[in-house]
Structure 1
Amino acid sequence: MLLLSLALLGTMTVAGAAAPGFAKEKPNGRSVQTGIEVLLDNPELVKGKKVGLITNPTGVTSDLTHDVDALLAKKVNLVAVYGPEHGIRGTEQAGSAPGTYEDPKTGLPFYNLYDKSPEEIAPLFRDVDVVLFDIQDVGSRFYTYISTMAYAMKAAALENKPFIVLDRPNPIGGEKVEGPVLEPGYESFVGIYPIPIRHGMTVGELAMLFNDRYLKKEIGKKADLTVVKMKGWKRDMWYDETGLPWVLPSPNMPTVETAAVYPGNCLFEATNLSEGRGTTRPFELIGAPYIKAWELADRMNALRLPGVSFREAYFNPTFSKHAGVNVGGLQVYVTDRDKYDPVHTALSIIAEVKALYPDDFAWRTDNWIDKLTGSDKVRKAMDAGTAVDEIVKAWQEELEAFKKLRKSYLLYH
């Protein structure tokens, strides 16, 4: 497995904006060069090779040039492009991706990888010499792009094709690790390996972990993996401190603030509460028709959870749960992201809703919460009335074990 890092050339030309009160002050002179820019400065890794690229709208340079255009401008022989959930162009809602088609701009074949097994993906790599991966992750286990990366790595290994990860920042930082670790028997596309909800790693670091710990066990060999390291990223940096432009990774991930609350508030997907899909503040707005917003907001603010405040909110989703219905609930405001624990906060909201509206609250009937949390322990504990602090305490031992494991794969300080 090869790591590549080149000297930083120049500075970022576009700075991402952040909401007042959320971003830290950007340190002078701190800017990040992503893996694609490092590769473009020295494209020897792909020179003379037929290249396949796995990407989506986030695959851009700091001046917002898309990877496809940037690679073609460097005379790289790009022959195929592949997309994850939501598609290469990012047009599809959750659980969807367009099929295979010819890109009208470049004439290149665009292939959908979503909902395909490694064995189904492998033939799509047959006519390329090397596979590149460049997609912005958001730092949560159940965000499916890291599952696509793992499946594609397996497929590349099956076809004996080198796999190159062009690294990008973890937008919610690389220090904090939170939430339960997925247990054996609860694997799914929203959690294929035993990592916690908030893993605190970059896609390059995760690729190394996956390759070293799991691929050989599953398919008998590792991928021929190269990670092209970033230049200038530090583990304590959030995305709005990198100097890079924010491109929404999926239709319901519009801002860095969304990514901050997502590790916790995605859990509302597994309930009969709206997680804010169909609004302009997905995952920040939480609600249901049966909730008295002022009542829930008062209860949540009385808990004085660290780094977060709540506003009673009312909204009418345009699609997804409760579409076209006025609902009451909360807007979640992160006031100190270093103290805020999104998983603990989300479970506290669920606990208060269950206490206030025991006859109305319901989990999804498919026990989706078990897939998101990585076992049935959280659901059973909450249904038994166990205090949230005790639920969180119960996964600390496994979390500490993961922290020790991940140390061997961290590329940045």
Structure 2
Amino acid sequence: MRLSRRALLAATTAATTLSAASGASAAAPRLRTGFERLAADGYALLDGQRVGVVTNPTGVTRDVRHIVDVMHADDRVDLRAVFGPEHGFRGTAQAGGSEGRHDDPATGLPVYDTYLKSGQPLADVFTVSGVDTVVFDIQDVGARFYTYIWTLYDCMEAAGLAGKRFVVLDRPNPVTGRRAEGPVLHPEFATFVGRRPISQAHGMTVGELARLFNGEFLTAPVPLDVVRAGGWRRSEFPDASGLPWVPPSPNMPTPDTALVYAGTCLFEGTNLSEGRGTTRPFELLGAEGIDGRWADAANGLDLPGVRFREAYFAPTFSKFQGRTIGGVQLHVHDRAAYDPVRTGIALLVTAKRVWNGFAWRSDDWIDKLTGSAQVRTAIDAGAGPDEVVAGWQEELAAFRRVRAEYLLYR
């Protein structure tokens, strides 16, 4: 990581702070999204620009209108295009899918598909669209392997290649920004579930990540503005603010899902179900032949903020479709104390100990999710949760030092 680029970051990246007084009233909510602050300032940041928006169903106002619909109806914004990521702009596609190139029925705007595009091919999309400024507004969930942050990275890189300006409309991290946790990606394990060396739970907003990407990882930093969320503190869970929760993807239905996801998504790298095909994905975990011993073993670790219940369920799709399986359900009772990554590791360790059918996916997907072979090899060698977690602390400490340079909120 090239900390010497801080001066370059300062010259090329502006963390835009719009006037808190603009358009505000005594009744205005304390917590305001980046879009709310942009609109309150009369879209001055976009004045004279042909604008394209990278967004999905989470790009909504407090009264759940989509920002594309709002901006399209406002003469102060010259909105020319929409760019849809995985699952699509309106959210009509399942995991691993997109909506493709089409015209949006509601606005008539051209919608371009960005999913699985990067580098020059994505830059060409921005060029063809005819926009001057690319605006990004997507709700993240705080985990390295949640791919929208890499959509952000790819779009920033492509905007730079295409000579475009980039604006991020920030939103709070729904699992707080208190700390970074978990293993740091090793570059040789880079995929779309982790492009660059950040920790598994990064504890940052998309605006802060954009600053980090621009300052540390992009070969040619892009002209960047971040419109900060107003009134958010790092220790806060924003679901108490009145902001609506819109599922960022089909298997992220609630804030509770986001809370556990940074740890239990690791079960995608095993032959156990991670709860896809149930109403509680990533909170329910299991497989055929597992009984209450797993919940007992996990509860015996006395992990902070969480308890485990013996559970039985039948996924409607994905692993074990239509078959009743046994496992656990996570019940987080103190989300401030809860550590999702440590909990995920503890569940992997205990699952392997109590169920002799445990296996990693044959493609070593667990290494892509954790960012190296360290977790898999340590668990296979019989390490306990404390020993596994200890294996990444030095790299995590180094990432935390770099991360601190790019934070926008206290």
Q: TM-score, normalising length from structure 2?
A: 0.93
Counterpart AA for 1:99? G
Counterpart AA for 1:2? A
Which of 142, 163, 167 pairs up with 1:160? 163
Match of 2:379 in 1: 382
For 1:57-136, list aligned pairs within 5 A: 57-75=57-75, 76-126=77-127, 127-136=130-139
Cα distance in 2 between the residues matched to 1:276 and 1:12: 44
Cα distance in 1 between the residues matched to 2:79 and 2:224: 19
SS at match of 2:239: helix
Q: Please, which runs of 5 or more residues in structure 2 have no aligned partner?
A: 1-12
Counterpart AA for 2:16? L
1:295-316 Cα distance to aligned partner (Å, 9 max, x none)? 2111211221111101111111
Counterpart AA for 1:67? I
Report deviation, 1:242: 2.5
Cα distance in 1 between the residues matched to 2:16 and 2:210: 14
Question: Is this contact kept in 2: 1:174–1:200, CA < 8 A?
Answer: yes
Q: Which runs of 4+ in 1 moved over 4 A?
A: 8-13
Cα distance in 1 between the residues matched to 2:233 and 2:303: 28
Question: Is this contact kept in 1: 2:274–2:282, CA < 8 A?
Answer: yes
Question: Is this contact kept in 2: 1:56–1:88, CA < 8 A?
Answer: yes
Cα distance in 2 between the residues matched to 1:225 and 1:128: 15
For 1:103-252, list aligned pairs within 5 A: 103-126=104-127, 127-216=130-219, 221-252=220-251
Match of 1:408 in 2: 405
RMSD: 1.5
Match of 2:39 in 1: 40
**Stretch of structure 1 that moved more, 264-273 or 30-39:** 30-39
**Stretch of structure 1 that moved more, 170-179 or 70-79:** 70-79
Identity of aligned residues (%): 55
SS at match of 1:185: helix
Question: Is this contact kept in 1: 2:24–2:40, CA < 8 A?
Answer: no
Question: Is this contact kept in 2: 1:130–1:162, CA < 8 A?
Answer: yes
Question: Is this contact kept in 2: 1:142–1:190, CA < 8 A?
Answer: yes
Match of 2:14 in 1: 2
Cα distance in 2 between the residues matched to 1:337 and 1:31: 22
1:382-410 Cα distance to aligned partner (Å, 9 max, x none)? 11111110110121111111111111101
Q: Please, which runs of 5 or more residues in structure 1 have no aligned partner?
A: 14-28
Report deviation, 1:186: 0.7
Q: TM-score, normalising length from structure 1?
A: 0.92
Cα distance in 2 between the residues matched to 1:231 and 1:59: 16
Counterpart AA for 1:201? M
Report deviation, 1:34: 0.6
Question: Is this contact kept in 1: 2:72–2:107, CA < 8 A?
Answer: no
Equivalent pairs, count: 392
**Stretch of structure 1 that moved more, 297-306 or 53-62:** 297-306
Counterpart AA for 1:396? Q
Report deviation, 1:93: 1.9
Cα distance in 1 between the residues matched to 2:233 and 2:25: 16
Cα distance in 2 between the residues matched to 1:82 and 1:90: 12
Cα distance in 1 between the residues matched to 2:266 and 2:170: 27
Question: Is this contact kept in 2: 1:174–1:235, CA < 8 A?
Answer: yes
Counterpart AA for 2:367? D
Report deviation, 1:82: 0.7
